[in-house]
């Protein structure tokens, strides 16, 4: 069944690693990154028109991502995995709610953990308590507590593999066995992290 798996959560909650773990173990799957639309908007707007410090506040960001996901869903016969933090219920409804109204199956999961755990995860990737991501934790935790953002997945004591297994089970999809050794898993994690460093 063609579906979208939207993986939400605070910055540092493990969205990207979980998304790519799912991608590695789900045949015919594709990772779609809505942030790219934000970078395009920032790069192509005149300085005088840069009125927002968060690209999600631009209506065109929501429109672009809705249109792209609707198109991919029509043309691609696989599972679309979307790792993206969205904590504004209105923005969420503009994208996910509209897709669902179109008949698209969107399974949404918010990766939840305590502030202390998220700070620890951020430190593991080199971001301190004064980093931009750390400063967004309270806003994200508060926003994601809204029932609009269910299913809430408690990841406090879960590994990335556990996250992927839980999401697959809840979405009714079958993961392929993970035959990688410990070194290969570590390599894949580092590779994913390096590919998603934002400059």
**106-153 per-position pLDDT tens digit:** 999 999 999 999 999 999 888 999 999 999 999 999 999 999 999 999
Name the pLDDT band for 83 (thresholds 50, 70, 90): very high
pLDDT of 198 strictly over 70: no
Is 1:148 a contact under the CB 8 Å cutoff? no
pTM for the model: 0.91
Q: Taking residues 69-84, report their average pLDDT.
A: 98
Q: What share of the chain has pLDDT > 70, as a percent?
A: 97
The domain tally of the chain equals 1
Q: What range defines the domain where residue 140 resides?
A: 3-195
Supply the mean pLDDT for the chain.
93
Alpha helices in the chain (DSSP H): 15-25, 35-44, 59-75, 89-92, 98-101, 115-124, 132-135, 137-144, 160-171, 182-195
Name the pLDDT band for 50 (thresholds 50, 70, 90): confident
Quote the pLDDT of residue 197.
Answer: 63
Q: What is the CATH number of the domain that holds 124?
A: 3.40.50.300
Q: Taking residues 40-49, report their average pLDDT.
A: 93
pLDDT of 102 strictly over 60: yes
Name the pLDDT band for 179 (thresholds 50, 70, 90): confident
First-to-final CA distance of the chain: 37
Query: Per-residue b/e over 12-48, b at no fewer than 16 CB within 10 Å?
Result: bbbbbbbbbbbbbbbeebebbbbbebbeebeeeeeee
The residues with which 83 forms a beta bridge, in sequence order, are 7
pLDDT of 199 strictly over 60: no
């Amino acid at each position: 069944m063609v579906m979208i798996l939207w993986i939400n959560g605070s910055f540092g909650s493990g969205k990207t690693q979980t998304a790519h773990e799912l991608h590695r173990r789900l045949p015919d799957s594709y990772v779609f990154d809505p942030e790219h639309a934000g970078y395009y908007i920032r790069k192509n707007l005149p300085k005088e028109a840069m009125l927002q410090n968060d690209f999600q506040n631009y209506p065109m960001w929501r429109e672009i991502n809705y249109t792209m996901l609707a198109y991919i869903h029509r043309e691609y016969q696989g599972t679309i995995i979307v790792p993206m933090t969205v904590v504004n219920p209105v923005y969420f409804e503009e994208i996910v709610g509209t897709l669902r109204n179109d008949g698209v199956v969107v399974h949404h999961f918010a990766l939840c953990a305590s502030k202390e755990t998220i700070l620890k995860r951020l430190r593991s990737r080199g971001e301190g308590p004064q980093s931009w991501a750390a400063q967004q934790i309270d806003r994200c935790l508060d926003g994601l507590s809204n029932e609009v953002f269910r299913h809430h997945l408690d990841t406090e004591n879960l590994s990335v593999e556990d996250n992927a297994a839980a999401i697959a089970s809840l979405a009714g999809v079958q993961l392929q066995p993970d035959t990688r050794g410990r070194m290969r898993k570590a390599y894949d994690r580092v590779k994913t992290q390096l590919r998603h460093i934002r400059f």
